[in-house]
Amino acid sequence: MSNRLRRGNWSVQELERLRLLLPHRGVEQTAALLRRTPDSVLRKALDLLRVTPRKGAWTDSDDWQLRQAWGAVELRLLASMLGRPASEVRSRAAELRSRLSSGPWTREETRLLKKLYGTRADEDLEVSLMRSHSEIATAARRMCLAKDKKFQSACNSAAAEKAPGVGKGGKLKPVLRSRMPRWISAEVEKLREIYPDYDNLTVARELGRSVTSVANKAFQLGLHKSAALLASIGRSNIAYRYQGEGEEASSSAAASPLSAEPASSETLAEADGEAGAGVIPAAADVSEPTVVLPTVPKSISTNS
């Protein structure tokens, strides 16, 4: 596939992908996925996604759109997408941050965390998830989530231009973790042994790595899930679709928090929207397979 940037008129397919990607990916990531320049994407987005100016109370739909885009879409563009002044959008985000919830996470919240965590700063996730920084960090550790390498690199580059550890308004900004250590031969052999028969979260916990790290390494090695696990994941997904929000899907196996096959925003970026991201059904532009959160065994017994 050619990496040359596209120029000229936009096709109908490109416009549809722009509508789908930009609200939660932002200009830079959308430009990379569409192989257009960021300036071209920004101009087209301002023209395509602008809505009639609005006044009055914020609706649930307005709040959801703001939460999805906060931290990914620049304020000027987001304001035009919402039909509100930038100052009002900023104030509404601050209000949402002041109304944080607590307690057990719902499936929708968990899926949104998995979708956004890799490419959003933690302070922005407070608005998107309406959860505290500590709760987000705890949930991310539990699900072995990590920031995407490209996002981490961009944040580190931006931080280098400012005083160390200082963000906007002089607030302390948490330093992002450095990259995970290289895989050693023993870890690779363990991955080859357990990857086919266990979901990615279980494998990540067993190896002490992030889900993304496991998925990417499995992709590099050409590893695949076993037919039995894939069939069990399918049964879990079907069971979940036909059960209520408060019920548990009856299945003996667990689904991977990314996908049945290893795919990440870095390894398979061109398949964005097709693998690796969970979306809340009520607000999604396209429907994706629903996954059931895995039940993780305390230890995986393998023959060594």
Mind listing the pLDDT tens digit for each residue in 217-266? 999 999 999 999 888 888 877 776 666 444 433 333 333 333 443 343 33
Residues whose CB is less than 8 angstroms from the CB of residue 9 and which lie 6 or more positions away in sequence, other chains included: none
Where does the pLDDT of residue 211 fall: very low under 50, low under 70, confident under 90, or very high at 90 and above? confident
Q: Which amino acid is at 268?
A: L
Phi/psi of residue 172, each to 5°?
-65, 135
Structure confidence at residue 294 (pLDDT): 41
| Number of Cα atoms under 13 Å in the Cβ half of residue 230 | 8
Structure confidence at residue 293 (pLDDT): 37
Please state the domain extents for the chain.
185-283
Token pair of 160, please? Answer: 């280098």
Where does the pLDDT of residue 151 fall: very low under 50, low under 70, confident under 90, or very high at 90 and above? confident
Token pair of 98, please? Answer: 């002041």
Rounded Cα gap, residues 130 and 264, in angstroms: 25
What is the SS3 string spanning the chain?
CCCCCCCCCCCHHHHHHHHHHHHHHHHHHHHHHHCCCHHHHHHHHHHHCCCCCCCCCCCHHHHHHHHHHCCCCCHHHHHHHHCCCHHHHHHHHHHHHCCCCCCCCCHHHHHHHHHHHHHCCHHHHHHHHCCCHHHHHHHHHHCCCCCCHHHHHHHHHHHHCCCCCECHHHCECCCCCCCCCCCCHHHHHHHHHHHHHCCHHHHHHHHCCCHHHHHHHHHHHCCCCCHHHHHHHHHHHHHHHCCCCCCCCCCCCCCCCCCCCCCCCCCCHHHCCCCCCCCCHHHCCCCCCCCCCCCCCCCCCCCC
Phi/psi of residue 166, each to 5°?
-115, 130
Q: Across all residues in the chain, what is the average pLDDT?
A: 76
**pLDDT 10s digits, 74-96:** 999 999 999 999 999 999 999 99
Token pair of 93, please? Answer: 């985000």
Structure confidence at residue 92 (pLDDT): 96
Mean pLDDT of 188-204: 91
Rounded Cα gap, residues 231 and 219, in angstroms: 20
Q: Which amino acid is at 201?
A: L
| Number of Cα atoms under 13 Å in the Cβ half of residue 8 | 4
CA distances from 213 to 72, 141, 144 (A): 23, 14, 10
Where does the pLDDT of residue 179 fall: very low under 50, low under 70, confident under 90, or very high at 90 and above? low
Sign of CA dihedral 19, 25, 28, 32: negative
Task: With CA atoms as reference, report the closest residue to 285 among 125, 129, 131, 115.
Answer: 115
Structure confidence at residue 184 (pLDDT): 92
Structure confidence at residue 4 (pLDDT): 85
Rounded Cα gap, residues 189 and 191, in angstroms: 5
Task: With CA atoms as reference, report the closest residue to 201 among 262, 259, 143.
Answer: 143
Where does the pLDDT of residue 149 fall: very low under 50, low under 70, confident under 90, or very high at 90 and above? confident
